[in-house]
Chain A
Amino acid sequence: DAMVIQNPRYQVTQFGKPVTLSCSQTLNHNVMYWYQQKSSQAPKLLFHYYDKDFNNEADTPDNFQSRRPNTSFCFLDIRSPGLGDAAMYLCATKGASGSYNEQFFGPGTRLTVL
């Protein structure tokens, strides 16, 4: 089945130790998004790719970086995780260029920072 896959589902890292979260999709969608969702809060957009064009949200910390080596894969790198970065990280995709299209969410990666 076409889907959005995130690995790992659970990630534990130590304070300051770099971590990479991955997202892959079989939908062949050209837009991919990374959201951060903290407990009891709404998802917050960190950045998105339209094809290879990277779009950073103004308030996304420099500690967060992203890579999209091809259409199917997108990575979220957290260079020096702090305790405040513990959250669920959601990847989503959207097809075509129309604004009306649904965003499809992956299952998320829950990040714990010790």
Chain B
Amino acid sequence: GENVEQHPSTLSVQEGDSAVIKCTYSDSASNYFPWYKQELGKRPQLIIDIRSNVGEKKDQRIAVTLNKTAKHFSLHITETQPEDSAVYFCAENSYGKLTFGQGTILTVHP
């Protein structure tokens, strides 16, 4: 079945630094890769996504890169702020279903 590995499980950075979270997947049929941010007790919120025919996408301080050959994709957050602190989940979509990575707890220290 589908499997998504996400690393690191926890990430602590100083405000203003960059944060990088990496995911690998196994299903060659995966064609869509969203990233969700989830604050404590709240719903997952989509922050950026990328389709399989694109290698990189950027939205202000957030960027995602995809390497389909190697089956990995990464989230990059630049100029981190304390409000970026949350749990981040990568996911891959195949046949209309999402499989999530295990999550990364990001803490941004002021």
Contacts and interface: CB of A to CB of B under 8 A. Distances in A.
Interface residues of B, number: 23
A107 interface: yes
B102 interface: yes
6 contacts: A42-B100, A43-B44, A99-B94, A103-B46, A105-B45, A106-B43
Nearest to B44: A105
Nearest to A97: B96
Interface string A90-114: 1000100101101101111010000
Contact-residue size bin, chain A (C-beta under 8 Å from the other chain)? 20 to 34
Per DSSP, are chain B's interface residues mostly helix, strand or loop, or mixed?
strand
Interface of A: 31, 33, 40-45, 48, 50, 90, 94, 97, 99-100, 102-103, 105-108, 110
B31 A99 contact: yes
B51 interface: yes
